[in-house]
Amino acid sequence: MKRSREKAASELFAALYPRLAGWCRRLVDDDETAHEIASEAFTRLWARWTAVAEPRGFLYVTAANLVRDHWRKLERERSAVRRATTEAAVRPPPEQADPSVRLLVQALPERLRVPILLHYYADMPVREVSVLTGRKEGTVKADLHAARELLRAHLRRSLDHTL
C-alpha cells in the first residue's frame, strides 16, 4: 500500500510539477519563488494525500493561495519602502498608477481572483474551475465576467491617468 501510494505521488509529481511551476512563474515573475510555491503546494498535498479527491485542483488552489500570500508580502515590502522614501523626501513625486494586469488581478477579491487565476492563467475550462471551487458553472461564468469588468474599469482609469 505504501509503495503504491509513493508511486502514485511520484507519477503525479512528474506529470504536474513542470506545468504548476511554470504557471507560478508567470504569476510571480521569479524562478526560485515559483519553484518554492509549487514545491510547497506538493508538500501540502502530500500531507493530506488520502483526504484529497482532486489532487490537481488542490495543487492549483493551494498554489494560488501561496501566490496571493507572496503578492501580499511584496506589497507590504513596497509600502514600507514607499513610506521610508516618502519620509526622507521633502516633496515626493506624485505616484503613477500602475496598470499592470498582474497587480490588478492581485487586487481582486478572492471570490473573483481564484476563478481568473484558474481559468486564464492555468488554462482550466469553466467546468473544471466549477468543480475545483465548488461553485456552479453559471456562478463561475458570472464571477469571470464581473472580474473582467473590474479589470477593464481599472485599466481604463489607469490609462486615462497616464495620457
| Residues 41-56: tens digit of each pLDDT | 999 998 888 888 889 8
- Tell me the chain's radius of gyration from C-alpha atoms: 19
pLDDT-derived band at 92 (thresholds 50, 70, 90) equals: very low
Which residue spans of the chain are classified as CATH 1.10.10.10? 94-162
What value does the mean pLDDT take over residues 64-69?
A: 91
The Cα-based distances of 60 to 41, 46, 49, 109, 119 in angstroms read 8, 14, 15, 18, 11
pLDDT at 90 over 70: no
Contacting residues for 105 by C-beta, under 8 A, at least 6 apart: 113, 116, 117, 151
The Cα-based distances of 103 to 30, 51, 67, 118 in angstroms read 15, 34, 12, 16
Q: Which residue bears the cell 483526504?
A: 51
Lowest mean pLDDT among 25-34, 57-66, 114-123: 114-123
User: Residue 115 in contact with residue 140, Cβ under 8 Å?
Assistant: yes
Q: Which residue has the higher pLDDT, 22 or 106?
A: 22
**pLDDT for residue 5:** 75
| Residues 96-149: tens digit of each pLDDT | 445 577 778 888 888 888 888 888 888 888 998 888 888 999 999 999 999 999
The Cα-based distances of 42 to 56, 70, 116, 155 in angstroms read 10, 17, 22, 35
The pTM of the whole model exceeds 0.85: no
Report how far residue 111's alpha carbon sits from residue 113's, in angstroms, rounded to the nearest whole number. 6
Tell the CATH topology of 94-162. Arc Repressor Mutant, subunit A (1.10.10)
